[in-house]
Amino acid sequence: MKGDRAIYCVALLMTVICQVMRLIEPSIIRTITDTYIVGEEAAENLRTGADGLIMLIVAMIGFTLLRCVIQYSANMGYEHASQGIIYRVRKVLFDNIEKQDAAFYDRHRTGDVMTVVTGDLEMVRHSIAWIIKTTLECILLYTVTMIYFFTMDWLMALCMMALTPFILIVTKSFRNVVGPFYVELREKLSAMNTRAEENISGNRVVKAFANEETEIVKFDVCNKAYNEANKKAAFTWLKFFPALEITAQSLSVVCLLFGGLFVAWGRLTFGEYAAFSGLIWTLSNPMRTLGNIVNDYQRFTASANKLIELYYGRPFIVDREDAEDVPGRLEGRIEFRNVSFGYGSADVLHDISFTVEPGETVAIMGATGSGKTSLVNLIPRIYDVSSGEVLVDGHNVRNMKLKQLRSGIGIATQDVLLYSDTIEGNISFGDPDMPEEDVERYAKAADADSFITHTPDGYDTIIGERGVGLSGGQKQRISLARALAVKPSILILDDTTSAVDLETERNIQNALKELDYPCTKIMIAQRVTTARNADKIIVLKDGTIAEMGTHDELIHRDGYYREVYELQK
């Protein structure tokens, strides 16, 4: 609430003042009734003191208008504070999400995270702007009214309080029953959002397999589950609502019955009865509203638990307190020492050891699932090793500052993610201030300039979400240009040329040899044409190094590389 605490506290104070002022009108009515309408000297007072009656009526109108102004100002304060709070919380949440490591995204579904930063945050805003305010109003109204009642007649006040224990019992029972329903409701909403997000982002796959009807049915299942959970929670509230409503309405009966008897017995004046009658709503309304407050509070609790989990979530891969400061440009020497790695209990790499000298080109090959991508992900610490060490320029990457390490590494993946931005904006992603001529130079190095210049607006052409409208090869070439543009000391290419033709691949390979800065290249390859000119070829099998050598050395051995060579030559 930093920055909005003062406004929020002033709004709370206004609410207190506003609720206390609600007693002024019944008090004035009480005075008017006993002094000018039914009192023993009412006629004389009305004849001789009409100006006093007019003043009381003007005061009642004035206090009513003042109370409306204060209430309106308080509501503006609540809204301003709640919007400011949610802006800051959403900013912190997004900052935290951006800093999370890959393991976080392995555990959390996209739809779940989206639900937290949208619907769950809105529920928190609602609680700040309405639940807290309404709770304070109900407590103040009930407390101040009962104090006022006791100042008039303690016995009548006790009669009006008689139903309160029943209300509390019903409310507590409702809270215990409905709580788990809103936890379930929150999970069903998250599942539905996840299903929608996956289908929207994967619409091309759905259409390619003509699977629209199947996906519609799957979404309908999630939608129906959310609908049923919503109805379950709503109907639970409706089961308890009649008891609360009947109890609240029964106050009128109590006031009429006991108030009438006390007036008949002379215990109450007509003015006091009018005050009791006029303030019934200040007791019945909190009783009636209490169920809504509990209902919304349970929804808030379900949302807040998810929000807190994300708010306080911390990445495992962070800078150590004693992290080494490695200023300047990296040389690009890479060493794996007895590295093993796994996802949870699933082992992926076992006892991997090799060295790459600065400026060398290393190709990594192997069957699907052999651990190629996992291996290169250990260099920029997308994941951390389970055992062993990965060293860059002689420094254990776990002891280096992440920003210094990753700023010296360029990565182009096979599964390309392009942003809804211009082509130039995507290529200069790593350096938004990059000159246009540099953007064009690295686009040419990735053999992308030829198709970019034929797009409607050239480098200013807006790319659709995730690169829609571009071919797989075009997206890969823009991704490669983006990686080259940061002038990395280490360039990691994860099968980046798999979707381009052989001529384009040859042009890219020639351009990579002529880069205007020193660079160590690690290439995951499926084609021999990609790997044959590498200084070293590493073949992985079942998470271990099965072969290592140059192209000429490996084609003379019986192994995976020779088999691939024979198939592709």
**Predicted local distance difference test score (pLDDT) of residue 467:** 63
Tokens of 563: 């088999």
**Nearest CA-CA partner of 101 in 414, 326, 313, 349:** 313
**Predicted local distance difference test score (pLDDT) of residue 322:** 84
Contacts of 561 (CB under 8 A, 6+ apart): 365, 528, 531, 537, 539, 547, 554, 555
Residue range of the domain that includes 292:
5-311
Residues 373, 460 share a domain:
yes
Q: What is the CATH number of the domain that holds 11?
A: 1.20.1560.10
As a whole number of angstroms, the distance between CA 409 and CA 400 comes to 13
pLDDT tens string, the chain, 569 residues long: the values are: 888 899 999 999 999 998 888 888 888 888 888 788 877 777 777 777 778 888 888 988 998 899 999 999 999 999 999 999 888 988 988 888 888 888 888 787 777 788 888 888 888 888 888 888 888 988 888 888 888 888 888 888 888 888 778 777 777 777 777 767 777 877 888 788 888 877 776 676 677 667 788 888 888 988 898 888 888 877 877 777 787 778 777 888 888 888 889 888 888 888 888 888 888 888 877 777 777 787 788 888 888 888 888 888 888 888 888 888 888 889 999 999 999 998 877 789 999 999 999 999 999 998 888 888 889 999 999 889 999 999 999 999 999 998 889 889 988 877 777 887 888 888 888 888 888 888 888 888 888 888 888 888 888 888 866 666 677 788 888 888 888 888 899 999 887 766 667 777 787 788 788 788 889 999 988 888 888 888 999 999 988 999 999 998 999 888 888 888 888 77
Residues 421, 551 share a domain:
yes
- As to burial, measured by CB atoms within 10 angstroms (0-12 exposed, 13-18 middle, 19+ buried), residue 569 is exposed
Residues 362, 303 share a domain:
no
**Predicted local distance difference test score (pLDDT) of residue 500:** 66
Residues 380, 305 share a domain:
no
Within-domain flag for 243: yes
**Nearest CA-CA partner of 480 in 454, 447, 457, 502:** 447
**Nearest CA-CA partner of 93 in 71, 120, 68:** 120
Mapping DSSP to helix (H, G, I), strand (E, B) and coil, where does residue 537 land? strand
User: 486-513: b or e for each residue (b if 16 or more CB lie within 10 Å)?
Assistant: bbbbbbbbbbbbbbbeeebbebbbebbe
Within-domain flag for 103: yes
**Nearest CA-CA partner of 513 in 374, 359, 405:** 359
Q: How far is CA 215 from CA 186, 203, 209, 225, 510, in A?
A: 22, 10, 11, 15, 45
**Predicted local distance difference test score (pLDDT) of residue 469:** 67
Within-domain flag for 134: yes
Residues 283, 341 share a domain:
no
Mapping DSSP to helix (H, G, I), strand (E, B) and coil, where does residue 521 land? strand
Q: Report whether 521 contacts 334 (CB < 8 A).
A: no
Contacts of 16 (CB under 8 A, 6+ apart): 136, 140
pTM across the whole model: 0.70
Residues 392, 298 share a domain:
no
358's torsion region: left (phi>0), alpha (psi -120 to 50) or beta? beta
Residues 303, 350 share a domain:
no
Map 329-352 to HEC letters. Answer: CCCCCEEEEEEEEEECCEEEEEEE
Q: What percent of the residues of the chain are helix, what percent strand, and what percent coil, each to the nearest 5? A: 65, 10, 25
**Nearest CA-CA partner of 196 in 304, 120, 114:** 114
As a whole number of angstroms, the distance between CA 233 and CA 231 comes to 5
Within-domain flag for 51: yes
**Predicted local distance difference test score (pLDDT) of residue 465:** 63
**Predicted local distance difference test score (pLDDT) of residue 338:** 94
Tokens of 303: 């949302």
Within-domain flag for 157: yes
Residues 218, 166 share a domain:
yes
Residues 347, 300 share a domain:
no
Residues 490, 453 share a domain:
yes
As a whole number of angstroms, the distance between CA 494 and CA 552 comes to 23
DSSP assignment of 249-296 equals HHHHHHHHHHHHHHHHTTSS-HHHHHHHHHTHHHHHHHHHHHHHHHHH
Within-domain flag for 327: no
**Predicted local distance difference test score (pLDDT) of residue 498:** 65
Tokens of 16: 């207190």
Contacts of 544 (CB under 8 A, 6+ apart): 349, 350, 351, 352
- As to burial, measured by CB atoms within 10 angstroms (0-12 exposed, 13-18 middle, 19+ buried), residue 270 is middle
Q: How far is CA 314 from CA 104, 115, 341, in A?
A: 9, 19, 21
Residues 283, 369 share a domain:
no
Residues 201, 64 share a domain:
yes
Which residue is listed with tokens 């992985």?
A: 540
Within-domain flag for 328: no
Q: What is the CATH number of the domain that holds 522?
A: 3.40.50.300
Instruction: Quote the number of domains for the chain.
Output: 2
**Nearest CA-CA partner of 504 in 542, 538, 471:** 471
Within-domain flag for 321: no
